[in-house]
Amino acid sequence: MHPPRALYVEFPLGLPLGKPGDADFQHRVLGAAFALLGEPAGPVLADFPEAIKSEDTEPLQCSVPPRYDPELHPAVDEAQGLRSAHDRAVARNGRTTVGSHVSRDDIPDAIGKFARIAAGEPWDAVGLDGSAGRVGQEIRTYYEELACELADGPAGPWAVERWFYERTQTGKVLLEARRRMRDAGAPQLAWFLLAPASRE
Amino acid sequence: MPDNDQAMRTHVATLPVPEFAETAFTEPRALRDARVAIVTSAALYREGDPPFAVPDVHFETIPDSARDLKLGHVSPNFDRAGFAADLNVVYPVDRLHELADRGAIGSVADFHYSFAGNQSDTVSEVRLDTGPACAQKLREDGVDVVLLTPV
C-alpha cells in the first residue's frame, strides 16, 4: 500500500500507542513517528525499537463479588454486584462505551438472556434479536471498564480480556452462548462478536 | 492461553491489499510550527450519537475538546480494555496538547476524524469519497500533519 511515512510498532492489536496510562511511553511512540517527517523521500517504513509482548502479561488481580442472591443466575448476580464499580469507572473517566445497544441498567437482564442460551434454550427465543452480538460486546465492555477500576495496578495487554473470559461467570456464559448460537446456525454477526475468534 | 494477536496476523495476511502506483509524499513545515490532527480507524463516536454500523464507511468529526468518546470498532479480536483505561492509547489527543504546550508542535487542530476499520476490500469509498472529504476538512482547518492511528 506504501503509505508515505509509517512507524511499525510491535504492540498487541488495539494499542497503537503501546501502553495505557503511560504518557512517557506514548510520547516515545509519537516522537518516533514525528521523526519520520524529516525524511526527504518516501515511502518510509521504520521500526519502533521497543516491543510489547502479550505473553509477558501478568494475570489481572481483580476480585469478583461473592454470591449475594442465590435466586439469580450466578452471572446476573455477579453483574449486579459489580454495578457500583462501573459507576465509579464512568465517574472517573467521564465516558463509557456501554449504552448504545444495551443500557447499563439492562446489563443484568441481558446477561440472563445469554445464560438461557448457554443453558440450551434456542437463541432466537430469549428476546435477543439480531443485535445479540452488539449487546454481548457491550456486556464485555461493562466488565472491562469496571475491571480497570477494580484492578490492583495497570493491566497488561489482554490481561482484562483473559480475566473476563476465564475468571468471571459472565465471560463463561458468553463463551457457551456463542458456541451454541454458532452451532445452531445463528447469523454470524449475532455470535461472532461475543468473544475473540481464538477462544474456543 | 489463546494468542489473539498471532491469530489476527495470520488472518490479516490473507486479506487483499490495494496497490497504489504512486506514493503521496510532501515535506511538511517544521514540526514546531505545524498544526496536527488525528485520524483514527477506531470508529470513535460521541455520547448521544448513533453508533457505527457493520459495515460503515462514513466518518465522524470529533471536536478537539471532546472526551465523551465511545469505541465503535466492533471487532472482538483486539485488546479493547486499553481504550477503556486510557483513550490516549488509541487517540492521543492529550499527548498532542502536551507537545503543543512544550512547543514541540505548533498547535492541535480544532477537529479530529474517526473512521471504521471495516471498509470494503477495494477501499473505494475512502479513496474516492470520504477520504477526499475528510482531507478537505483538514485543509480548511489549516492542518499540516495528520497522525493516523489504526486499530
How confident is the model over A19-50, as pLDDT tens digits? 999 999 999 999 999 999 999 998 999 999 99
| B8 contacts A13? CB cut-off 8 A | yes
Q: Is residue B21 part of a domain?
A: no
Smallest CA–CA separation between A106 and chain B, in Å? 18
Smallest CA–CA separation between A71 and chain B, in Å? 31
C-alpha cell at A81: 454486584
Range A153-169 average pLDDT: 94
Range A78-97 average pLDDT: 97
Does one domain contain both A90 and A32?
Answer: no
Domain of residue B43: give its range: 32-149
Q: Is residue A199 part of a domain?
A: no
With a cut of 70, which residues of chain B have pLDDT below it?
A: 1
Provide φ and ψ at B115, rounded to 5°.
-115, 160
Burial of B45 (0-12, 13-18, 19+ CB in 10 A): buried
Chain B partners within 8 Å of A155 (Cβ):
81, 85
Does one domain contain both A141 and A89?
Answer: yes
Residue A89 confidence (pLDDT): 96
Residue B1 confidence (pLDDT): 62
The tally of domains found in chain B comes to 1
Does one domain contain both A83 and A173?
Answer: yes
Does one domain contain both A43 and A95?
Answer: no
Query: Looking at the predicted structure, is the pLDDT value of residue A1 above 80?
Result: no
Distance CA B105, CA B85 (A): 26
CA angle B136, B123, B70 (to 5 degrees): 70
Domain of residue A82: give its range: 74-192
Range A2-16 average pLDDT: 94
The tally of domains found in chain A comes to 2
Query: Looking at the predicted structure, is the pLDDT value of residue A98 above 80?
Result: yes
| A160 contacts B81? CB cut-off 8 A | yes
Does one domain contain both A21 and A91?
Answer: no
**Residue B10 neighbours by CB under 8 Å, 6+ apart:** none
Tell me the residues of chain A between 86 and 105 that have a Cβ less than 8 Å away from chain B. Answer: 89, 93-97, 99-101
Does one domain contain both A19 and A95?
Answer: no
Compare all CA atoms of chain B with the CA of A97 and give the residue at the minimum distance.
B70
Residue A140 confidence (pLDDT): 98
Mean pLDDT of chain B: 94
Tell me the residues of chain A between 35 and 74 that have a Cβ less than 8 Å away from chain B. Answer: 37, 40-43, 54-55
Query: Looking at the predicted structure, is the pLDDT value of residue A6 above 80?
Result: yes
Does one domain contain both A78 and A48?
Answer: no
Does one domain contain both A179 and A94?
Answer: yes
Pairing of strands B35-40, B107-108: parallel
Residue whose grid cell is 492489536: A13
Q: Is residue B45 part of a domain?
A: yes
Residue A109 confidence (pLDDT): 97
Q: Is residue B43 part of a domain?
A: yes
CA A139, distance to chain mean position in Å, is: 9
Query: Looking at the predicted structure, is the pLDDT value of residue A2 above 90?
Result: no
ipTM of the complex: 0.96
Distance CA A77, CA B16 (A): 45
| B82 contacts A13? CB cut-off 8 A | no
Residue A136 confidence (pLDDT): 97
Distance CA A173, CA A165 (A): 9
Count of A-B CB contacts under 8 Å:
173
Whole-model pTM? 0.95
| A155 contacts B85? CB cut-off 8 A | yes
Q: Is residue A24 part of a domain?
A: yes
Measured CA distances, A68 to A9, A87, A191, B4 (Å): 45, 19, 30, 34
Does one domain contain both A45 and A127?
Answer: no
Residue B146: closest CA among A94, A175, A37, A47: A37
Q: Is residue A57 part of a domain?
A: no
